[in-house]
A and B are shown apart, each in its own frame.
Chain A
Amino acid sequence: MNYEDMEFFAPGHRACAGCAAPIIVKWVLKLAGPNTIVVNATGCLEVFSTPYPHSAWRLPWIHVAFENASATASGIEAALKAMGKKEGTNIIVFGGDGGTSDIGIQSLSGMAERGHDVLYVLYDNEAYMNTGIQRSSSTPFGAWTTTSQVGPSKPLGKEEFKKPIADIMAAHKIPYVATANPAFLPDFKAKVQKALSIKGPKFIHTISSCTTGWRHDPSKTIEIMRLATETGIFPLWEIENGDFGHRKITYMPKQRKPVEEYLKPQGRFRHLFSEPEKIKEIQKMVDDWWAQYEHPQ
């Protein structure tokens, strides 16, 4: 069945204009269809989609807390199994980067290790947006947030690197891990579809621009997310069963654009432009990662 003409995520929710999270959710659900139960970690998505007595969810949806969406999903799966109703029902978790890479990493790791048949979709806006743009372990090197402030003693913003959560999930040897970008919709759809066709734990790391926290014009959401991949900062790949040797790059930029093109339109990186060697450092990190996968041109 094809449900692409149907909307399971209703309009009228309260996301900021230009927020990428609803785009991600809407497309995942179109591919999943109506026989789906959604679990949501605390975060922007949960808050903007369920202002009681309204709900944007046209599917059964549950939010329990910030750090336990994976455990809740585990219990749902066990209950469906016990009732003999698991066959054909998708269980999909949506979690932000805080709810996934930080406070929720324990329950996520537990769910993956126990092998529950759940698709976990991380919408990574690279900070705790719901509480007002605080840094997370998924905030990139050099980004300003309200807890990685920029000043004379701290010219860089965040001084630590982004936690490679998708690699960490692949190291669990679960059947399917991918990164996806809604600005590359055919690739995004193919990955969600593939994940849904596989039994067991699946993890998709999606990039999710936040106009408020990244400080860019709301009309530029797709453009900026596209640049994230075209500069090679957010590469698109998949790994099956933890086979790192066969990481499949699903989008190979012909010529990677310089990282400045991605950093420039975002207010959170503005201070870097007075620290050009830091931009070089970021470029080098990206180049080093790609060196394993690009053939010399």
Chain B
Amino acid sequence: MPMMMLKGNESTAYAAKLARVKVVPAYPITPSTVFPEKVSELIANGEMDAEFLPVESEHSALSAAIGAAATGVRTMTATASQGLAFMNEILYIASGMRLPIVMAIGNRALAAPVNIWADQQDTMMVRDSGWIHFYAETNQEALDLTIIAFKVSENENVLLPALMGMDAFVLTHTMEPVNVPEQKDVDAFLGEKEINYPVLDPSKPATFGAFVFPEHYMEFRYSQYIAMEHAKKVIDDAFEQFNKIFGRGYSKVSGFQVEDADILFITMGSMTGTARETVRKLREEGEKVGLVKITVFRPFPKDEIIEITKNAKVIAVVDRNISPGFAGAIFTEVAASFTNVKNRPKIIDFILGLGGRDIRVENYEEIYKRSKKAMRGKFEEVQWIDVDEESVKEVEGSL
């Protein structure tokens, strides 16, 4: 299989080509813009056989994707931040209509103030939209998870759209060696697109997007809930099958040095690499620390997280997002996962890396230090790392 030097956005464009995506409506936004550019180039070169729609907004990009998916073809788009926010209304309609659309996200901060760098606030904002969420740590993962996303989305027990997040610039614009799969292997993995759901077909008229009264609405929502529950197993199966064909294994959560660790970082996305480095370093210093990486955020891998952290005394969640008035989104999910668990670890939320601030080994060392202290005593539930508290105090006053 050919190795290529690819940016994250190019990896997802190659994934679209390999998945034989037929319609790509997209709108430029940093840091996702390279995706439509690359798709346009692949089509112009005759390497990809698809309709590219240079629509006039993200809102229309997803609306056109709905039109295409409802007509029965594989469709993919990409966006980030403000673009995803602009799509919000249509995200819920895509999942409510049970359309297997795949979308690559360059995870970026939300305005105001405007900032184009890595931050996971944008996809956390759409947590409840009924989309499956995958997160890549590397560009290889970005390519693989995009292909896997189609497999899961199109499964007849799922039929839900999926997004695949990769951090702005750190992944979207950074070249990495990527093992680009052979077309025949991807064909074998995905199979011909089966139209296993009703489509807009004049020979079989059907009504999509009807007006539904209270006597039926809840059943539609319950169906969506059940489909997302089904996705749990379908994702595991897809990972397993992918591993068989391509020799690269994935799981919803994966551990590093977890067995005897007292303290576990929980990370998602590109920040994981630095966390792994830190774990190695601290292990050399004799510290009992490990790492859990989240690859699938929706459906939330609750059971897997409880299982993999069972020996830990402190879980240090790393959140590259914040819900003002409470905590970061991953903390909320992890903490809620333990609601009915007896011997639960202490769980602390560390907010860092917002708006592209570098996440460094020293930051994780600080998190580790604070978590170790918390092992024995009291602790603040939400702690900000690498933030200039003094300058903010001058304006906002002290808590």
Residues of A participating in the B interface, judged by any CB pair closer than 8 Å: 34-37, 39, 46-47, 50-53, 55, 57-65, 67-68, 70-83, 89, 106-107, 109-110, 113-114
Interface-forming stretch among B48-56, B110-118, B154-162? B48-56
Query: Are A107 and B60 CB-contacts (below 8 A) given A37-B200, A53-B216, A81-B51?
Result: yes
Query: Are A72 and B67 CB-contacts (below 8 A) given A64-B93, A109-B56?
Result: yes
Smallest distance from the beta carbon of B241 to chain A beta carbons, Å? 27
Chain A hits for B75, CB < 8 A: 75, 79
Smallest distance from the beta carbon of B36 to chain A beta carbons, Å? 14
Smallest distance from the beta carbon of A81 to chain B beta carbons, Å? 6
Q: Identify which of A55, A60, A74 contacts B64 (C-beta below 8 A).
A: A74
Task: Tell me if B314 counts as interface (CB < 8 A to partner A).
Answer: no
Q: Which 5 pairs between the two chains have the least Cβ-Cβ distance?
A: A75-B67, A75-B64, A110-B56, A71-B60, A79-B71
Task: Tell me if B192 counts as interface (CB < 8 A to partner A).
Answer: no
Smallest distance from the beta carbon of A244 to chain B beta carbons, Å? 24
Query: Are A79 and B59 CB-contacts (below 8 A) given A60-B205, A62-B208, A71-B64?
Result: no
* A37 & B53 in contact (Cβ 8 Å cutoff): no
Smallest distance from the beta carbon of A113 to chain B beta carbons, Å? 7
Would you call the interface of chain B mostly helix, strand, loop, or mixed? Answer: mixed
Docked pose: A50 CA to B212 CA in angstroms: 8
Interface residues of B in 113-160 (CB under 8 A from A): none
* B212 & A76 in contact (Cβ 8 Å cutoff): no
Chain B hits for A60, CB < 8 A: 200-202, 204-206, 208
Sample 26 A-B pairs with CB under 8 A, ordered by A number.
Answer: A46-B211, A52-B210, A61-B208, A62-B209, A63-B209, A68-B59, A70-B60, A71-B60, A71-B63, A74-B25, A74-B53, A75-B63, A75-B66, A75-B70, A76-B67, A76-B200, A79-B22, A79-B69, A79-B73, A81-B51, A82-B22, A82-B50, A82-B51, A89-B202, A106-B60, A107-B57
Q: Residue of B at shortest CB range from A78?
A: B51
Known interface pairs A62-B70, A64-B63, A78-B67; 20 further A-B residue pairs with C-beta atoms within 8 A, sorted by A's residue number: A50-B207, A51-B210, A52-B213, A60-B200, A65-B93, A67-B59, A68-B59, A71-B55, A71-B59, A71-B63, A74-B64, A75-B68, A75-B69, A78-B23, A79-B71, A79-B75, A81-B51, A82-B68, A83-B22, A106-B57
* B67 & A110 in contact (Cβ 8 Å cutoff): no
Residues of B participating in the A interface, judged by any CB pair closer than 8 Å: 22-23, 25, 50-51, 53-57, 59-61, 63-73, 75, 89-90, 93, 97, 200-202, 204-213, 216
Docked pose: A106 CA to B90 CA in angstroms: 16
Interface centre among B53, B59, B90, B213 (most CB of A within 10 A): B53
* B63 & A52 in contact (Cβ 8 Å cutoff): no
Q: Identify which of B23, B63, B72 contacts A107 (C-beta below 8 A).
A: B63
Chain B hits for A65, CB < 8 A: 63, 89-90, 93
Chain A hits for B64, CB < 8 A: 71-72, 74-75, 78
Docked pose: A78 CA to B61 CA in angstroms: 12
Docked pose: A65 CA to B22 CA in angstroms: 23
* B67 & A62 in contact (Cβ 8 Å cutoff): yes
* A61 & B68 in contact (Cβ 8 Å cutoff): no
Smallest distance from the beta carbon of A147 to chain B beta carbons, Å? 22
Chain A hits for B51, CB < 8 A: 78-79, 81-82
Q: Identify which of A55, A62, A74 contacts B55 (C-beta below 8 A).
A: A74
Q: Residue of B at shortest CB range from A109?
A: B56
Smallest distance from the beta carbon of B243 to chain A beta carbons, Å? 31
* B72 & A83 in contact (Cβ 8 Å cutoff): yes
Chain B hits for A47, CB < 8 A: 211
Interface centre among B22, B61, B67, B211 (most CB of A within 10 A): B67
Docked pose: A50 CA to B73 CA in angstroms: 25
Chain B hits for A55, CB < 8 A: 207, 210
* A114 & B53 in contact (Cβ 8 Å cutoff): yes
Docked pose: A62 CA to B208 CA in angstroms: 5
Smallest distance from the beta carbon of B115 to chain A beta carbons, Å? 26
Chain A hits for B72, CB < 8 A: 79, 83
* B207 & A79 in contact (Cβ 8 Å cutoff): no
Docked pose: A228 CA to B85 CA in angstroms: 43
Chain B hits for A63, CB < 8 A: 208-210
Smallest distance from the beta carbon of B317 to chain A beta carbons, Å? 35
Docked pose: A75 CA to B59 CA in angstroms: 12
Docked pose: A67 CA to B65 CA in angstroms: 15
Docked pose: A138 CA to B57 CA in angstroms: 24
Docked pose: A75 CA to B197 CA in angstroms: 18
Q: Residue of B at shortest CB range from A61?
A: B207
Query: Are A57 and B66 CB-contacts (below 8 A) given A74-B53, A75-B71, A110-B56?
Result: no
* A79 & B205 in contact (Cβ 8 Å cutoff): no
Q: Residue of B at shortest CB range from A36?
A: B202
Smallest distance from the beta carbon of B60 to chain A beta carbons, Å? 3
Interface centre among B90, B201, B204, B209 (most CB of A within 10 A): B209
Docked pose: A67 CA to B89 CA in angstroms: 11
Q: Identify which of B25, B54, B205, B213 contacts A75 (C-beta below 8 A).
A: B25
Chain A hits for B216, CB < 8 A: 52-53
Chain B hits for A62, CB < 8 A: 67, 70, 200, 207-209
Q: Identify which of B56, B66, B206, B211 contacts A106 (C-beta below 8 A).
A: B56
Smallest distance from the beta carbon of B37 to chain A beta carbons, Å? 18
Q: Residue of B at shortest CB range from A70?
A: B60
Interface centre among A37, A59, A109 (most CB of B within 10 A): A37
Docked pose: A72 CA to B75 CA in angstroms: 13
Docked pose: A81 CA to B202 CA in angstroms: 15
Chain A hits for B201, CB < 8 A: 60
Q: Residue of A at shortest CB range from B67?
A: A75
Smallest distance from the beta carbon of B198 to chain A beta carbons, Å? 9
Chain A hits for B211, CB < 8 A: 46-47, 50-52
Q: Residue of A at shortest CB range from B71?
A: A79
Q: Residue of B at shortest CB range from A107?
A: B60
Interface centre among B59, B97, B207, B211 (most CB of A within 10 A): B207
Docked pose: A276 CA to B209 CA in angstroms: 47
* A76 & B68 in contact (Cβ 8 Å cutoff): yes
Query: Are A79 and B53 CB-contacts (below 8 A) given A39-B67, A63-B208, A64-B90?
Result: no
